[in-house]
Every structure is written in C-alpha cells, then in structure tokens.
Amino acid sequence: MNNTFTILMLGIIVFLAHWFSSIFERKGVPDVLLLMLVGVFVGPVLGLVKPEDFGIAGPMFTSITLIIILFEGGIGINISDLKKSVGGAMKLTIVNFLITMIVVGLFAYFFLNLSLLLSLAFGATLGGTSSAVVIPMIRQIKIGDVPKNYLILESALSDVLCIVFALAFIEGLSGSSVQPGLIAGKIISSFLLASIVGFTSAIAWSAILVNFKAFKTSIFTTPAFVFIVYGVAETLGYSGAISALVFGATLVNLDGLRSTALKRYITDTPISLKETERTFFNEMVFLLKTFFFVYIGISLRLDDYFLLLIGILLATTLFLFRIPIVRFSSNDQINVNDRVTMAVIVPKGLAAAVLAGIPLQKGIAGGQIMQDVTYSVVFISILITSILLPLLNKYNRLRAIYGWFLRKRLNFVKVKNVDINNTDN
C-alpha cells in the first residue's frame, strides 16, 4: 500500500465518518456499524489493506484510542451521579463478568474441545464490555445519567477483570498454578492503586496549571499528561485504563471536592477543563473512534465460516443472558426504558482482541481457535448492538417485549399492556 493511496484513504474515511454520523442522527443507522463495514470491505473482501500493513502502529493506535476515550468518558462523570452509580455499576460489572466467563467457558469446553483452563481464559477474555465502543455509543442515545454512568464504569472496570483473570488462567496453562487469593489481591490492588494514581495526578495537574501559564494556554498539554498518567500506572503494574478514567473524573469535579476533607490537598483556585478543551477532546474521540472501528473491520477474518457461525451463536447467547443480568443488577433508580437500553449494549472490543492473541503467541494448543472466534464475537456483538438500538427506538412492541422481561415484579400480562416507563415495575 503506497503513501498516496494511504493518504487518499485517510481523507475518504474522515469524510465518510462525518456522513455516517449525520445518517445516525437522521436515520438511526449507527455510524459504528457503517465504519466497521468499510473496514471489512477494504480488508477481508477486497484485500486492499491487511492488519500486518500497520505493523507496530496497529496495537499502538488501539491503546491510544482506549486512553483518550476513557479520559473523555471520565470528564463526563458528575461526582454526585457517581455516588449514586458506583455500587450498582460494580454489581453489574461483577455479575456480568462471572456469568459471561462461565457461559463462554462451558461453551468452549464442550463444543470447541478446548482445555478447561483455556476455556476459562476464553470466558474471561469476553467477560467485559468495550470502553471504545460503549462510551461513544451512549453519547448518541437518550439514557438517564445513572444508567449512563453504570455503562461507562462497567466498560472501564471490566477491562481489569478480563486482563487479570485471563492472564491468570493462561499462566496456569504455562505450568504455574492458579491461586484464587492471588487473583483477588491483584484485582483489588489494581482498582485501588490505579484510582490513587489517577486521583493524585489530577490534583497535581490542577496545581501545575495554576502556576505555569504556558501549560494553561495550550490545549495539547492535558492530553500529553493523560498519556503520562497512563504510562506511570502501567509501569507500576496497575491499570492505566482506570487511572485515565479517574484522572478525568477528578479533574472536572475538583470544585466539588473542595468542600470535603480533601480540601487541604487542592489548590485555592483549582482549574478544570475549559470549553475549548472539551471540544478538542470530542474531536479527538471522533477521529480515533473512526479509525478504530475501521481497523476492527480490517482485522476481521472471514475465511472460516464454521468459526464465524460459532461467533454468531456465542454472541447471541451472551445477549440473551444479558437480560436477567441487567434485571438483577439494576435498582429502582433506573426505569424499565433505560434497563432495555442497558440490556442491548454488550459489545466486546479492545481488551478481548488483545487477550485473545496471547495463547496463540505462547504456542498454546487451541490458541488459533480462541483468537478467530473472539474476533468473530467482537464484530457480531457490535453488529447486534448497533442493530438493536435503532430497532428498539423504531418498534415499540420490540421494546415492550424486552421491557416485560426487565420489570422488577413480573406480572403475567399481555405485552401490549406493558408500561415500559413505569419505574415501579
């Protein structure tokens, strides 16, 4: 692929992304789906671009996308809403992860003939939702603040669970033992210490902006500092993703924190993000999201129809299990209408794609099957989410059917009589 063609394609993709975004607003056809199909068309279908063409830039690009999108998600969190959401978000995250890991693990063990530990690693790999998919998507739909925070936090927190559990099972395959206590300790330390890194970094950055006017006037310094925060957390062995999320959330809520016991650590004139910086981050997220989804489409392998069919079956199964998971995890603050939306947002993405390649790299038997099926599930799960969201908005009967299953107290009534907006049901 020559430089001229690459530059031409970049320009075309950016224009298509803006066009797809307007189609989403007018017609309800998600731009995410259209971007992935562009990647599939120029990649697996026409063979114009291959994942190998990106070299080291491919994995680097996906990491940068994750950092910026998580930070942008953090600056959209209000601390008062967070207090209402964090407990429920943790419940949703843990329940969804454990059930998904068990379901996928059993499926892989009995139908794909993978070993027990590799099956559990497979389940852990697909146990979360993708921040790079969820956060941009919920920015474009109508949903309450509490369920929105549930979904943002779930997508960020589940990455840590996926990484820790999947790597623990893979280590077991490599010959070392799997110790449940060690896994639990890693999870707790990763959450807590990564949050501390993000929180203290936000306070420090606010103080820097107060004292150094050159940093204050530049809109590029904050993104650079986000990369530093991520890098420091990862170097220390913590979750850089969580640190980036907490950094953004703390930075925009410093004024509210001054009334707490932490006021001694916060400058007298704390500085958060200006409107121009927020606009800049929105544009960055738009561009990164655009190329990220095209890259997913390019990376998809369509040459094995059996594994593609397995991916479809597995993704569909996870969507069915999501319904009781959301019903069990949601509280009375979330009305049935928002529960329906939460039940169809189950996309897999970056963490799953990265973890799926590790067994293959280590030469573990069944690693190729795990990677191919995971790529298939990532694509199909995003596809189903992208299709169901507009269908639920267009067809009230479909939303009513979902709503009937997601009511807190189930009464055997006809679907046409279901009031999906009744928060007491």
Alpha-carbon distance 400 to 408, whole Å?
Answer: 14
Alpha-carbon distance 338 to 423, whole Å?
Answer: 10
Residue 422, pLDDT above cutoff 80 = no
CATH number of the domain encompassing residue 251: 1.20.1530.20
Residue 230, pLDDT above cutoff 80 = yes
Q: What is the mean pLDDT of the chain?
A: 80
pTM of the model: 0.74
* pLDDT of 172: 73
**Is 39 a domain residue?**
yes
Closest CA to 253 of 215, 190, 193, 198: 198
Cβ-count burial 269-301 (b if 16+ within 10 Å, e if not): ebbbbeeebbebbeebbbebbbbbbbbbbbbbe
One DSSP character per residue, 12-53 reads HHHHHHHHHHHHHHHH---HHHHHHHHHHIIIIIT-S--GGG
Q: Which residues contact 375 (CB under 8 A, 6 or more apart)?
A: 299, 300, 301, 311, 353, 356
Q: How much is the CA Rg of the chain, to the nearest whole Å? A: 22
**Is 422 a domain residue?**
no
Task: Kindly state the average pLDDT of the residues 81-91.
Answer: 74
**Is 423 a domain residue?**
no
Residue 190, pLDDT above cutoff 50 = yes
Q: Which of 64-68, 157-161, 222-226, 414-418 has the highest mean pLDDT?
A: 222-226
Q: Which of 84-88, 147-151, 190-194 has the highest mean pLDDT?
A: 147-151
* pLDDT of 418: 42
**Is 122 a domain residue?**
yes
Alpha-carbon distance 29 to 10, whole Å?
Answer: 22
Q: pLDDT tens digits for 11-46?
A: 888 899 889 888 877 776 778 888 889 998 988 888
Q: Note down the domain range covering 17.
A: 3-417
**Is 244 a domain residue?**
yes
Counted domains in the chain: 1
**Is 424 a domain residue?**
no
**Is 161 a domain residue?**
yes
Residue 103, pLDDT above cutoff 90 = yes
